[in-house]
Structure 1
Amino acid sequence: MSSQRLIIYKFSSLYHILEELSLDINFKIIYLDSENLLYEKIKNSNNYLIISNKKNLNFSNHIYLDNKPMNISKLVEKINIEFLKLHFNNQSHVKINDYTIDLNSREMMINNNKLKLTEKEINTVIYLIKKNESVSINELQKNVWSYQSDIETHTVETHIYRLRKKISITFNDNDFIVSKKNGYQIE
């Protein structure tokens, strides 16, 4: 069973229709008629959609359906598209210590403070965090810049210097990328 959950909130007729189709759909269907249960069900998750005929629900990932006749296959298609969007958005945010990096907008954020990053800066940060150890300049040249290691260049050092400066100015953080004797690391 998929980990995607469609929560049908106070819309029992829709629940019964989709329940009949449950073998042919790729998401779990849950019916709730209590707002408290709804909050409880979604509080530690982001892989859900709420569908209801209540217009002004203050929940993220909410789809409003009025009671007009609808084509059920179009509805299932719409739900699947919303799950795809949700999945894409969830994948686009990378958490690094107290920071969040939005890969789509290329922004680094903490609280309400944002810093715009270049694609190469994003790639550098992502590479460093995935390695979880000190990374040499030659390795960064090869894997982030696609340079051969025998070429004499200060591209990596220059980019790291500029990135650290941007982060220091914006977030007052001088320790995001640290220098080690054999390269750079995000701790």
Structure 2
Amino acid sequence: MTKQLVNIIRIPILYNILDEIKHLFSFNICCYENPKNFLAKVKGIDIKNSILILSNNHDSLLIKDTFKNDILILDVLPLKLEKILDKINTTLIKQTYFSQSNLNIKGYELDFNSKHISYLNKKLKLTEKEIEIILFLNKEKNSQNISILEKEIWGYASKLETHTVETHIYRLRKKFKENFNDDNFIINFDKGYKI
């Protein structure tokens, strides 16, 4: 999964402090001198997995129409670093939760917070591995063979014959057939599987 990004505008001291300890974070950080530099840099780029930290409301007004993500305004400084990190982490967690609430895959709504996939008022409970398989196959354009699935989903590359992948996919396809009458959610090709 791509790391979330924290964009900091007009607060270089905060960026410098966070940059010193960035190895402790599960997010990346960027710094911009002003809102115009930020907007020029992100123009045409998908930045849905990010938040923005500003020093004042005026900058927020300049960016709000272009930047649809979460904006933190630190207009009451100084703040303890602990409080700033709490605000950043809370915002990132909230953003992750909402981004995972509804993912559309082939007309189905996948909510991997509740581990359900639904279609036309029918819901199907999924396991963690089933979600991983669906997400992996969904992001790949080409069919994926068993050894790639073993490596990417289970984390091992085995030369031994194993039926783990086939068994999981067989069960998942069976669930879709029984619950949604869909034989084509995961398609079986000679060279592997595809959504």
TM range, normalised to the smaller chain?
A: 0.5 to 0.7
Q: What secondary structure sits across from 1:100 in the alignment?
A: strand
Gaps of 5+ in 2: 1-8, 10-37, 39-49, 72-78
**Whole-angstrom CA distance in 2 between matches of 1:142 and 1:48:** 35
Q: Could you give the per-residue CA deviations for residues 46-73 of structure 1, whole angstroms, max 9, x where no partner exists? A: x579xxxxxxxxxxxxxxxxxxxxxxx9
Sequence identity (%): 39
Residue from 157, 162, 173 that aligns with 1:148: 157
TM-score, normalised with respect to structure 1: 0.57
**Whole-angstrom CA distance in 1 between matches of 2:97 and 2:119:** 18
**Whole-angstrom CA distance in 2 between matches of 1:105 and 1:115:** 11
Query: How do residues 55-66 of structure 1 correspond to structure 2 at under 5 angstroms?
Result: none
Q: Does 1:90 align with 2:105?
A: no
Q: What secondary structure sits across from 1:144 in the alignment?
A: helix
Question: Rg larger in 1 or in 2?
Answer: 1
Contact 2:106 2:185 in 1 (8 A): no
Contact 2:108 2:117 in 1 (8 A): yes
1:117: Cα distance to partner? 0.5
1:148: Cα distance to partner? 2.4
TM-score, normalised with respect to structure 2: 0.55
Contact 1:4 1:28 in 2 (8 A): no
Cα root mean square deviation, aligned: 3.9
Residue from 126, 137, 140 that aligns with 1:128: 137
Distance 1:146 1:86, change over 3 A: closer
**Whole-angstrom CA distance in 1 between matches of 2:159 and 2:140:** 22
Contact 1:140 1:156 in 2 (8 A): yes
The amino acid that maps onto 1:143 is: E
Q: Could you give the per-residue CA deviations for residues 127-164 of structure 1, whole angstroms, max 9, x where no partner exists? A: 11111210001111121122323011111111100000
Matched residue, 2:75? none
Gaps of 5+ in 1: 6-20, 31-40, 50-72
Distance 1:143 1:84, change over 3 A: closer
Moved more, 176-185 or 145-154: 145-154
1:79: Cα distance to partner? 8.6
